[in-house]
Chain A
Amino acid sequence: MSGFGNPNEIGVAQYLLMMIEEIGDGTAVLPRTRGHFPGTPNTLDPSGRLGTDLLTCIIDSIGGMTSGLASLPNWIVTTNLMVRRAPDALIGDSGTGPLVLDTQVLRRGRSSVVTRVDVNDLEGVAVASSWMSCAILTPENGPPPFNRPVKPFEREVPDNPIFAAPPHEFFNLSEGERPGIAHLDIEQRLRNPWGILHGGSSAVVLDAAARSLVIGRSTVDATPEAIVTDLAVHYLSPGRVGPIVAVATSAGHRGPDHLVRVEVRDQGADNRLMALAMTTVRRLD
């Protein structure tokens, strides 16, 4: 594993602008943190709701960081992540706008960490609940430089309009040759501090592929008629080269809820399987 870059310069974090604070004095064996996601207009849909793609990104970001704090002086990589959205916060005003993420490490073992993330809106309405597992690794040049307890800090946003673009532009997505396929071309801003594709980026491209399959249209844009309601993603190998291709296939449906299997592959790295997900996409029309 190569060295850690500057955590202030993680492109996905600069795009999402979530502020994270550690709860307590920074000595807890099982740390807790709280994230404040501002929900800038370009990241939300027309009703002010965060899609499950970016929701998974912010969960991965804060869950990964908190798991890492539990693992110091080592650090972590996410191995799998589970998200379940609240059924009554999928349409209408409920669960819209800025979000608060309460994060708690549940278990810190010798080689892995399990962490829970609960997401609410500013009124305390539940938006989603999630847990994730991380593998503990020894970084070659040490862990990222955090002072404990971690205090919120303003991120400097590059003077580049891409950081104010909608998700499909920021994540460099393009539609596939048929519904259910989405492509992502790796740019530097989409890499994590280890130089590999940010886990949230994988979630974004697989979410797009799954929604596209269910609505039967090749697109990577927002889809008001469909939303991912739950996600189980396993990260199997890092994305390094690209293009990254997500291919979704239908497993069946229960009324408006479609069970979709998605494989994410790094075409430039011998088409290696990067991530495998089972996800439910609900048709809202």
Chain B
Amino acid sequence: MSLLGLESEQNENGDVRGWMPVTPFTASPDGMPRLATVAMLVDALGGMRSITASDPDWAFTADMSIHLLPAGPTELLQADLHVRRRGRRTLVIEAELLADGERPAGSALLTFAVVPRPEHLVNITINMTPGRRKMNANSEHEKLESNYFDELELLVTTPGVTTIELRPVVCNTVGALHGAIHASLIDEASASLGRSVFGTDAITTDLHLAYLELGRVGPLTATATAIGGPANGRLAASVDVRDGNGELVSTATTEVVAP
């Protein structure tokens, strides 16, 4: 999160707006942010929004769908999040994406599972006062100086297969693979499959991702399999992420386009 320079602002109703700068290290060939980085933005903002929405309980991401639109080269991606349902056990949050504050860039829908607040988080203090701020204090002195996936040490082993070691930089607060890094594995597994099929650049534009288990054992591996064949420059894929023991920890379907 710190590498992406995310910023957020929460209003008095609890609704959240956030921003992510787009650089050559985080952009697709079309100049838009990669889906992997959008997943980090909406997951982080959704988590922030869920704190007040689920209070006094806690919430964690159960699934996420993202659709990206071709907004053209982008300098700053903005996301506005709204709670669409707060039930006893689930929370549904919608995110609208805007490129440079003016062009529709897509949307996201996230489900959070609402659970009793874990013991270690009962007394946690989170700064929820209004105002725009960096989401991670390290963003002040850390920035990407190479490709995002290279920084993550995310590797393509063969077209359609990606892998990542479970290092602290890719983990969440409980030491499991961060939810948005699942999306990174899936994005690049899909895109690499697309590059192989199309023989050109390929961009992952859509994602439907379900989290199944915490990925606590590395390395984590994503394997993308085409759903049927390509047509009109589109490829659909089914992607499974497994941990170092071979256990299925998340699953997704994606769409990949040739730009």
Structural contact, B229 and A87, CB atoms closer than 8 A:
yes
Task: Find B228's partner among A79, A95, A230, A252 (CB 8 Å cutoff).
Answer: A95
Helix, strand, loop or mixed for chain B's interface?
strand
Contacting residues, chain B, for A52 (C-beta < 8 A): none
Structural contact, B107 and A251, CB atoms closer than 8 A:
yes
A253 at the interface (CB under 8 A from B): yes
In Å, the complex CA distance between A95 and B228 comes to: 9
Structural contact, A253 and B94, CB atoms closer than 8 A:
no
B216 at the interface (CB under 8 A from A): no
B137 at the interface (CB under 8 A from A): no
> What distance in Å separates the Cβ of A207 from its nearest Cβ neighbour in chain B?
16
Known contacts A87-B230, A107-B213, A129-B238; A278/B69 CB under 8 A? no
Which B positions have Cβ atoms within 8 angstroms of A?
A: 62-63, 65, 67, 69-70, 84-85, 89-90, 92, 94, 104, 106-107, 109, 111, 113, 205-206, 208, 210, 212-213, 226-232, 234-236, 238, 248, 251, 253-255, 257
Structural contact, B85 and A86, CB atoms closer than 8 A:
no
> What distance in Å separates the Cβ of A264 from its nearest Cβ neighbour in chain B?
12
Q: 6 A-B contacts, Cβ less than 8 Å apart?
A: A80-B111, A87-B229, A88-B230, A125-B228, A237-B85, A252-B69
Structural contact, A280 and B232, CB atoms closer than 8 A:
no
In Å, the complex CA distance between A254 and B67 comes to: 11
Structural contact, A131 and B253, CB atoms closer than 8 A:
yes
Structural contact, B104 and A234, CB atoms closer than 8 A:
no
How many pairs of A and B residues are in contact by the CB < 8 Å rule? 125
Task: Find A280's partner among B63, B113, B206, B210 (CB 8 Å cutoff).
Answer: B206
Structural contact, B206 and A230, CB atoms closer than 8 A:
yes
Structural contact, B89 and A234, CB atoms closer than 8 A:
no
Structural contact, B84 and A273, CB atoms closer than 8 A:
yes
Structural contact, B107 and A86, CB atoms closer than 8 A:
no
A18 at the interface (CB under 8 A from B): no
Nearest residue (CB) in A for B256 is A87
Binds B, one of A110-118, A156-164, A198-206: A110-118
Which A positions have Cβ atoms within 8 angstroms of B?
A: 79-80, 82, 84-90, 94-95, 106-107, 111-112, 114, 116, 118, 125-131, 133, 135, 230, 232, 234, 236-237, 251-254, 256-257, 259, 261, 273, 276, 278, 280
Nearest residue (CB) in B for A258 is B69
Contacting residues, chain B, for A106 (C-beta < 8 A): 210, 212, 248, 251
Contacting residues, chain B, for A84 (C-beta < 8 A): 206, 208, 227, 236, 253-255
Taking each of A88, A95, A253, A261, which has the highest tally of chain B beta carbons within 10 Å of its own beta carbon? Answer: A88
Task: Find A86's partner among B89, B104, B228 (CB 8 Å cutoff).
Answer: B228
In Å, the complex CA distance between A114 and B236 comes to: 20
Nearest residue (CB) in A for B257 is A254
Structural contact, B227 and A129, CB atoms closer than 8 A:
yes
Structural contact, B212 and A111, CB atoms closer than 8 A:
no
> What distance in Å separates the Cβ of B243 from its nearest Cβ neighbour in chain A?
14
In Å, the complex CA distance between A88 and B197 comes to: 13
Structural contact, A85 and B104, CB atoms closer than 8 A:
no
Contacting residues, chain B, for A94 (C-beta < 8 A): 228
Known contacts A234-B84, A259-B106, A276-B84; A254/B69 CB under 8 A? yes
> What distance in Å separates the Cβ of B211 from its nearest Cβ neighbour in chain A?
9
Contacting residues, chain A, for B226 (C-beta < 8 A): 126
In Å, the complex CA distance between A138 and B238 comes to: 32
Contacting residues, chain A, for B248 (C-beta < 8 A): 106
- Beyond A84-B227, A88-B231, 19 extra complex contacts between A and B, CB < 8 Å: A84-B206, A84-B254, A85-B227, A87-B235, A106-B212, A112-B62, A114-B210, A116-B251, A125-B228, A129-B236, A230-B206, A230-B208, A236-B84, A236-B85, A251-B104, A252-B106, A259-B107, A276-B92, A276-B94
Contacting residues, chain B, for A111 (C-beta < 8 A): 89, 113
Contacting residues, chain A, for B231 (C-beta < 8 A): 87-88, 90
4 A-B pairs closest in CB distance: A86-B228, A82-B208, A126-B228, A88-B229
Structural contact, B106 and A251, CB atoms closer than 8 A:
yes
Nearest residue (CB) in A for B249 is A107
Contacting residues, chain B, for A276 (C-beta < 8 A): 84, 92, 94, 109
In Å, the complex CA distance between A251 and B63 comes to: 21
In Å, the complex CA distance between A128 and B254 comes to: 12
Contacting residues, chain B, for A89 (C-beta < 8 A): 228
Structural contact, A87 and B92, CB atoms closer than 8 A:
no
Task: Find A88's partner among B67, B85, B228 (CB 8 Å cutoff).
Answer: B228
In Å, the complex CA distance between A195 and B122 comes to: 40
Structural contact, B228 and A278, CB atoms closer than 8 A:
no
